[in-house]
Amino acid sequence: MNKKINYLFVTLFGIGKIKKIPGSVASLITTLFLFFLFHILNVSANIVLISVIIIFFISLYTVNVFIKDLDNKDPKEVVIDELIGQSIPICLYEIAHEGIKNTSEVLTFYFIMFILFRIFDIAKPYPVSYYDKNFKNSFGVIMDDVCAGLYVVAVLVLYMVITT
C-alpha cells in the first residue's frame, strides 16, 4: 500500500495530526459522520457495520505498517481505532432501534455513546488495559478501542433493561 494512502487511512485524513486530543476529535467526527449517514442519507446500519468490520481488518495491516519503525507502538496520530471503537455502539444502537426515531432522543444517545466511549478509552478498565499493555502491535492498538466500544454497548443494554 502506498505510504501516503496508508498515512491518510490510519490518521483519518490527517485528523490524527491535530495537536490536542486527536482521539476525542476523531471520535466526535465519527459520531457526527454516522449521524449523517444514518439520519440524513438513510444508509442501512447493517451496511455501515459490515464496512466497519472491513475497516477493522484493513486496519490490522495498515496500522502495523505505520508503526513498524516507530518506538511508540500506539502513537496519538493513529486514530482509525477511534473510528472503529466509536462505530460499534452507534451501529448496534441503530440496528436495535430500526425504524423511525425521535431525533432528540437519537442525539441524546449519540452524545451519551460519545462520552462513554471516551471515558472507557481514556480510563482503560480491564480488558481495555490488557490489550493496551500486552499487545504492542496493531492488534493492541485497535482492540482496546473495540473493548471500549463494547463497554458502551454493555452500559446501554443494562440501561435499557433497567428502564423498560
Using only the alpha carbons of the chain, give its radius of gyration: 16
Question: How confident is the model at residue 1, as a pLDDT?
Answer: 64
Question: How confident is the model at residue 75, as a pLDDT?
Answer: 83
Q: pTM of the prediction?
A: 0.93
Helices and strands per DSSP (H, E), number in the chain: 7, 0
Report which secondary-structure segment, H or E, holds 54. Answer: helix 45-67
Chunked in runs of 10, what are the mean pLDDT values of the chain (164 residues)? Answer: 91 95 97 97 96 97 91 86 98 89 92 98 89 87 95 95 89
**Residue 10: other Cβ atoms inside 10 A:** 24
Q: How far apart are the first and last CA of the chain?
A: 49
Concatenating the DSSP letter of every residue in 94-110 gives: HHHT-S---HHHHHHHH
Separation CA 100–CA 55 (nearest Å): 28
